[in-house]
């Protein structure tokens, strides 16, 4: 088996330890940034939806500020966003390279995106359910937790899935500016040293990661749809 692999992807076999390290770095970036994005992105999406005109927590100034924050950071290409936030990464993480240095740009790239996805998911909840909850005297907090979030699980799951897939792609881009991971590995060896088998293997690994995330997201959506 080893001889067969070496005949097909010799450069990958020779650098298997570095490939494994790059894979672990990518998983770390996706795991850490993904978890923090969920922690901030979902509440931000709830605020975006509930503070808009006609929302249960209508607050036009707050909604305007949150909406503009999301729109600005969603409109900046990630490679430019990562460069823009190098100074902030050094300030907060004390480094602008490696996995730690990539966290801040990845968060600014994914939190606004996820917030908009959550906002769209909550908009799919029927107004009749909200009116029924209000007629029973439910507080805004109860409406958010018992109606919006509960009924919006399928849409939120789809949004989280899309965001995580985008995050995987962002980590590959972050690798081009020193974040490490599979993107950096493909750039250093597949592109710079013209070793195409490395590029192909990295692409295949990313496709597998994306497919696994999509499968998990589909499972949650199917289980929560009623």
CATH (domain of 214): 1.10.3720.10
45 inside domain: yes
6 inside domain: no
Q: How far is residue 54's CA from residue 5's CA, in Å, rounded to a whole number?
A: 61
Torsion of the alpha carbons at 97, 102, 108 and 113, rounded to the nearest 10: 150
Domain containing 32: what range? Answer: 14-224
9 inside domain: no
8 inside domain: no
96 inside domain: yes
Mean of the per-residue pLDDT values for the chain?
91
Per-position b or e across 174-186, b if 16+ CB within 10 A of its CB: bbbbebbbbbbbb
Query: For residue 3, what pLDDT is reported?
Result: 74
Query: For residue 98, what pLDDT is reported?
Result: 87
130 inside domain: yes
The encoded tokens of residue 190 equal 């597949």
pLDDT in tens, 24-52: 999 999 999 999 999 999 999 999 999 99
Please, what sign has the CA dihedral across residues 77, 162, 189, 7? Answer: negative
What is the Cβ-side half-sphere exposure of residue 28, based on CA atoms within 13 angstroms?
A: 18
129 inside domain: yes
173 inside domain: yes
Query: For residue 96, what pLDDT is reported?
Result: 84
Query: For residue 1, what pLDDT is reported?
Result: 65
Query: For residue 226, what pLDDT is reported?
Result: 61
Q: Which helix (H) or strand (E) holds 22?
A: helix 16-50
Q: Which residues of the chain have pLDDT under 50?
A: none
Query: For residue 2, what pLDDT is reported?
Result: 66
How many domains does the chain fold into? 1
């Amino acid at each position: 088996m080893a001889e067969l692999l070496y005949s097909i992807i010799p450069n990958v076999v020779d650098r298997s330890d570095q490939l494994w390290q790059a894979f672990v770095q990518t998983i770390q970036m996706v795991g850490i940034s993904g978890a923090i994005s969920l922690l901030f992105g979902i509440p931000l999406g709830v605020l975006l939806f509930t503070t808009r005109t006609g929302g249960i927590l209508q607050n036009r100034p707050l909604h305007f500020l949150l909406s503009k924050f999301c729109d600005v950071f969603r409109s900046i290409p990630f490679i430019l966003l990562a460069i823009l936030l190098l100074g902030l990464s050094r300030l907060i993480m004390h480094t602008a390279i490696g996995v730690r240095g990539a966290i801040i740009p990845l968060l600014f790239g994914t939190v606004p995106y996820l917030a908009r996805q959550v906002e769209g998911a909550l908009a799919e909840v029927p107004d009749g359910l909200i009116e029924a909850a209000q007629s029973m005297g439910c507080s805004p907090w109860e409406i958010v937790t018992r109606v919006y979030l509960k009924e919006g699980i399928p849409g939120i799951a789809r949004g989280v899935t899309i965001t995580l897939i985008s995050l995987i792609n962002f980590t590959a881009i972050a690798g081009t500016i020193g974040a490490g991971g599979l993107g950096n590995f493909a750039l250093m060896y597949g592109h710079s040293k013209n070793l195409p088998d490395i590029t192909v293997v990295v692409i295949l690994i990313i496709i597998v990661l994306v497919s696994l995330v999509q499968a998990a997201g589909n499972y949650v959506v199917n289980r929560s749809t009623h």
